[in-house]
Amino acid sequence: MVGRGDGLVWRAHGEGDLAALTGLVEACLALDGGLPLFTRTPLVRARLLQTRTLGAWHDGDLVAAVSVDADRTPVTACGLVHPAWRGRGIGTRLLDWVDGQADDAGLLLTTETWTADAEALFVARGLRRTFLERVLRHDLDAPPDVAAPDGVTLEPATLSPELFDTYRVSFADRPGFVEPAAEEWLGDLRDDEDYRPELSMVARGPDGGAVGFVTVLDTWIDQVGVVPGWRGRRVGAYLVARVLRGLAEAGADAAWLCVNDDNPAAGLYRRLGFRETGRRARYLRR
């Protein structure tokens, strides 16, 4: 269909539009910040090439896109508007289309490039934010040096039941924690081609028991956990600092991680030299 006097042409987009979708993602990330992994083809496909799609084109350029999986309950959706085309009601028109696809099935909307204006639109349409993560970057020109806590040693992590148990105990008291099956959690790491076994570590206390862990994917600190009895003793800081130093020695120029908005560890990461580069979020309407 043709836009309302604005020269926009609206049509479904598909695999052949992957380059245009990636360019749209890059333009939004450049202004808004957010998850840089969104530029990778698998995530572009997962977010913007679901079962139903709609894009807005102007003179052959993609200026907005949205994608919906109407086969799920709730229906899932993700959309973007190019920064140069905001403030013209395009986001509202995308959301109108999404609502038509969702009908009464509920809606789960994901954004990897959060903005306050987008949140205001979502909330006005009855969506409630259920998740917000801050995306943090550490420029590795000066990795921090954190002394080993008394009695704590590090060793490479093995994908074992002990590693899963350390993860489970470290996160069990986090609000909203849902325990996965051990083999599923371990299998996700085992099957991830970016998993860095040489940088993923377990911290052990004086008695040899595991007191914390860190897993690394490419240049991303994937998960860091410290068992409750060992929190406040620099275990997490020591693990992260060792990973940062290891990444720098391997030639990386930056390290990344995501931290939930309500996670007190965000303060630790900032003290270690991380800075916020954007946010990502999810919104739900039942």
| pLDDT tens per residue across span 25-64 | 999 999 999 999 999 999 999 999 999 999 999 999 999 9
Measured distance CA(22)–CA(9) in Å, rounded: 19
**Do 102 and 158 sit in the same domain of this protein?**
no
Give 262's pLDDT tier (boundaries 50, 70, 90).
confident
Is the same domain home to 127 and 168? no
Give the three-state DSSP class for 29. Answer: helix
Please give the Cα distance from 254 to 219 (Å, whole number): 7
For residues 124 and 213, state if they share a domain: no
User: What are the pLDDT digits (tens) for 163-185?
Assistant: 999 999 999 998 888 999 999 99
Q: Is residue 264 part of a domain?
A: no
Answer yes or no: is 34 within a domain. yes
Of 113, 132, 151, the domain-final residue: 132
Q: What is the mean pLDDT of residues 223-249?
A: 97
Would you say residue 258 lies in a domain? no
- Residues 50, 31 share a domain: yes
**Residue 191's domain is classified under what CATH number?**
3.40.630.30
Q: How many residues does the chain have?
A: 286
Beta-carbon contacts of 264 under 8 Å, excluding residues fewer than 6 positions away, are: none
Residue 173 in domain = yes
Residues 146 and 125 in one domain: no
Q: So what's the pLDDT on residue 175?
A: 82
Q: Mean pLDDT over all residues of the chain?
A: 95
Q: Name the band, by pLDDT with cuts 50, 70 and 90, for residue 5.
A: low
Q: How many domains does the chain fold into?
A: 2
Of the three residues 92, 109, 132, the one that is the final residue of a domain is: 132
Contact 47, 67 (CB under 8 A): yes
What is the rounded average pLDDT of the residues 179-194? 97
Q: Is residue 276 part of a domain?
A: no
Whether 4 is covered by a domain: the verdict is no
Residue 257 lies in a domain: no
Average pLDDT value for residue range 136-158: 97
What value does the mean pLDDT take over residues 98-110? Answer: 92
Flag whether 53 is in a domain: yes
Of residues 12 and 103, more confidence is placed in 12
Full domain range(s) for residue 213: 142-252
